[in-house]
């Protein structure tokens, strides 16, 4: 059996062999607890600190501004809940958008139960929020603005730098979920001006179950997990040394590969788009911003089809859809609905996301398979 062509890198990435090689010694001989005051502990501790420096270098941060977490969702939960808990006496008001990842929306839904006020800002037809809407929504009670750096479904890049400038001017903190952007485009926390930034290892060719949170120096953040004094008291729990080492290596490789990686991904993405469009024409409609989006992400509507049913006809391609089919009804994703995509069009949405190991030959074969399936009656 031939493995399907993998075009779902926004869902997860395979573990790069270089990351596996880096982490294996810490699963075998270097098993010490990084908090232990002996030789085994020192080796583990030093490895964690090297990785901290590698992650920091990738995003233009300082090593002591990096907290290792169990993944991107934990990082976002920590930034959001930790900010609100640290400033709860001031009353809690948070601003976000209607197209955020559940790792942002669910914590906010949770905080509402305890009296938090949450303002959900709309987006335009490309999935982009207007910074002026953020400015209008901020009040003297606003503790945090949380806006993703790039959308996981359609790839649209948000105007984070402009939003961060507004937040600084108005005295609010800003968090950005950067899980999808890291390694695909240049990300620098100093240039962006953010206070918190979330990273997910498994979007960066490291294993699942490891991530990081950037916390700008001086940031007052209540721990999400309480216990012993790991991560300088900011996140309790013995550090997952092998996975942290892998995330560090992933960051080092990503840093070396940019900006060439951006151009390579964009070339593959556009090759796929052009091949589909050349045959399907107006029966293929792009979702997301035509220019300001991730270089690897192509979200398109196959007009006249249901995305899930189309992909079911193409077992040779592994990809995602933008709609869910339940009991004969097709529901648009929250993102496409927020963008105002008509249901009769958006029901055919398919997300195709290329990655580090995608080849031109795979792109060409995938395009052929998808075209063939879309030319059959729905």
| Active site members | 325
d(C-alpha 111, C-alpha 204), whole Å:
30
| Residue that the structure tokens 């120096």 belong to | 217
CB 178 within 8 A of CB 66: no
CB 10 within 8 A of CB 203: yes
Return the closest-CA partner of residue 195 out of 306, 111, 86, 312.
86
d(C-alpha 372, C-alpha 112), whole Å:
48
Tell me whether the omega of the peptide bond preceding residue 259 falls within 30 degrees of 0, making it cis.
yes
Q: In what order do the strands lie in the sheet with 297-302?
A: 284-287, 297-302, 349-353, 320-321
Which of left, alpha, beta for 183 (phi over 0: left; psi -120 to 50: alpha)? Answer: left
Return the closest-CA partner of residue 316 out of 268, 362, 270.
362
What is the C-alpha R_g of the chain? 21
Q: Which helix (H) or strand (E) holds 198?
A: strand 196-200
d(C-alpha 71, C-alpha 24), whole Å:
20
């Amino acid at each position: 059996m031939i493995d399907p062509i993998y075009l779902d890198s926004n869902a997860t990435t395979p573990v790069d062999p270089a990351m596996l090689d880096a982490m294996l010694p810490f699963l075998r001989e270097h098993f010490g607890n990084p908090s232990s005051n002996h030789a085994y502990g020192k080796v583990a501790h030093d490895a964690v600190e090297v990785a901290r420096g590698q992650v920091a270098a990738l995003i233009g941060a300082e090593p002591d501004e990096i907290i290792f977490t169990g993944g991107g969702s934990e990082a976002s939960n920590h930034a959001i809940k930790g900010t609100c808990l640290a400033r709860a006496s001031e009353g809690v008001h948070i601003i976000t958008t209607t197209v955020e990842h559940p790792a942002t929306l669910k914590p906010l839904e949770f905080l509402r139960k305890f009296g938090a006020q949450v303002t959900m800002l709309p987006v335009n037809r490309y999935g982009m929020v207007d910074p002026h809407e953020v400015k209008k929504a901020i009040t003297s009670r606003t503790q945090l603005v949380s806006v993703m750096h790039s959308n996981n479904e359609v790839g649209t890049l948000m105007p984070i730098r402009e939003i961060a400038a507004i937040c600084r001017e108005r005295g609010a903190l800003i968090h950005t979920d950067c899980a999808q952007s890291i390694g695909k485009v240049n990300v620098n926390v100093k240039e962006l001006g953010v206070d918190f930034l979330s990273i997910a290892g498994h979007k960066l060719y490291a294993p699942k179950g490891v991530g990081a949170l950037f916390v700008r120096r001086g940031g007052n953040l209540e721990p999400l997990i309480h216990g012993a004094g790991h991560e300088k008291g900011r996140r309790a729990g013995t550090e997952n040394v092998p996975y942290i080492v892998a995330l560090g290596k992933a960051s080092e490789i990503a840093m070396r590969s940019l900006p060439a990686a951006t151009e390579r991904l964009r070339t593959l993405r556009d090759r796929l788009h052009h091949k589909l469009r050349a045959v399907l024409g107006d029966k293929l409609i792009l979702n997301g911003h035509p220019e300001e989006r991730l270089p690897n992400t192509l979200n398109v509507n196959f007009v006249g089809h249901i995305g899930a049913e189309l992909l079911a006809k193409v077992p040779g391609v592994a990809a995602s859809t933008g709609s869910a089919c339940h009991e004969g009804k097709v529901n648009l994703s929250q993102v496409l609905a927020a963008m105002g995509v008509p249901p009769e069009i958006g029901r055919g949405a398919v997300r195709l996301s290329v990655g580090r190991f995608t080849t031109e030959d795979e792109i060409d074969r995938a395009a052929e398979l998808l075209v063939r399936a879309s030319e059959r009656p729905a």
